[in-house]
Every structure is written in C-alpha cells, then in structure tokens.
Amino acid sequence: MAAFEQALWPLLGILLYATFTQIPLLRVKQGFQDRRFMAALLVGNFIVIPALLGVGVLWLPLPAPVLAGILMVLLMPCTDWFISFTHLGKGDTARAIAATPLLLLVQMVALPAYLWLFLGSEWLHLTLSPALLGASLGLIVLPLLLAWLTEYAAQSHPTVKRAAHALGLMPVPLLACVLLIIAATQVTQVLAMRQLLWQTIVIFLAFLIVAALLGKGLGQLFKLSPASARTLVFSFGTRNSFVMLPIALTLPHGWQAAVVVIVCQSLVELFGMVAFIRWVPGSLLRGP
C-alpha cells in the first residue's frame, strides 16, 4: 500500500499537467467574444448551481467529510473532457474551448470562498494546513504554469506542439491508474461507507438531471442556439474531479471519505455523459 501511495502523487502531477496542456490558456480573451453565451455559462456554473447545492444538499443529514466531498466536486465545472463530450453531443466545441481557460481561473478563486461559505470556519482551518497548501502549489499551480509555458513554446517549436498533442492521449489512462490506486488504498474506507455511497450516487444522478434542465432553461433565457445550449448542458453536467482529487487527498485524518465521494462522482458522471450524448441532441435540445 505504501508503494501505491508514493506512486499516486507523481501520477496526479503528470495527470494534471497533461490535462492543463489541452486547455488553451493563451486564449482567455476569446471567451468573451460571445457575451451572451459566457454570461449564461458563468451564471449557471458560479451562481445558480452553488445556490441549488446550498438549498438542496446542505440540509441532508450527511457527515461533514461526505458533504465536503460532494460540495468540492459539484461546485467546480470541468475543464477537460467537457470539451470532448460537448463535441460528441453536438454542442459548440469552439465556444467550449474558448470558455475553458476562464472557467479554470474563476473556479480557482471561487472554490475556497464557496467552501468557507458552506462549511464554515472549520474548512478555513483545513485550507490553511501546510499539506493542502503544498498540494495546491505542487499539483495545481506548478502543472498549470508548466502547461502555460508548454503552450507558449508550442507556438514557435513544432516539436513541442507535437509533444503537447501527444499529451492529450494521456489523461484517460492516467486517470484510470489513479482511480485504481485510490481504490486499493481506500478499500477500507469504501466498505465502511457503502451505505452512504448509495445516497451520494442518488445525489449525483439527480444533479445530472438538474444540470441538463438548467442548461436548457438558461439557453432559452439567454436566447442561445441549440448547439450553444447543449454546450451549457455539458458544462453544467461535468465537474472538475481531476483538480479536486489532490486537494481531497491532503485532508487530515477523518476526512478521507471526501476522496471516495469524488471518485464515486467521476464514475457516475462518466456513465451519465454517455447517456447525455444521445439524450441531449436527440430529445432535450433538438436542432442544428
């Protein structure tokens, strides 16, 4: 088990670096070209969804670590396979790509504030721990900086551009390795909370349905095209478990349930997106 745990951190670092290299970090300004779409995207992800979670989840009689895991993963929108699912679900891939850098930057600022708001001062003490701060710098800030440098270098060096493209093939197998390691190291925790896991699965399934309806509703409210509205649905339905995992893994003893909850959500989301690919363009939002 110790060998697995030692291998986990380098794998997470490589996973996040490979993931961040696929985000067009140098194109933040392009995200503002379609202001109606970006307004709908930001309102849905950072105002409506947090409000719905506050109303619909906080009153549930769940242990604090489980609640923390649910909030950590559901509060933050995905910035990686959201693009792939948008493409497969006949959304507007160009707008999805343009929006991802802004989504990443906003959530890095918003997450600590939301968790402090929902979980109170106890969470504030946890976020100031050396382990969590070290993980944030080493596994989020450093890979993000290296990805930005890689993208910058790729503009003038074809070899770097080809390498960055090859890195796009790595996140899925790396994530599979990470999930296997976590399953091996957290098996006792999984067995101990098997009853709670069923409750979290129901919550995550309900979230997917609400996210789809929210995307359709905001698409109509902001008068977006069907393709843009589908992009909203896939953004609201996919969450940023890649970035949340290293944060959850540094939480102190007694909070390990948050890791299991985040892994559970990523699996539910994966199967949910497979269903979305057919349902969203086929029934929910028909059109060109």
pLDDT in tens, 118-141: 877 666 666 655 656 666 666 677
pLDDT in tens, 248-274: 877 777 777 888 898 889 889 989 999
What domain count does the chain have? 1
pTM of the complete model beyond 0.75: yes
State the average pLDDT over residues 56-72.
87
Domain that holds residue 226: 2-284
Give the CATH number for residue 87. 1.20.1530.20
Q: Using alpha carbons, list the distances in angstroms from residue 103 to 42, 81, 132, 155, 191.
A: 8, 13, 22, 23, 35
What is the distance between the alpha carbons of residues 51 and 42, in angstroms, rounded to a whole number? 13
pLDDT in tens, 137-194: 666 778 888 888 888 888 888 888 888 888 877 877 887 787 777 777 766 666 667 7
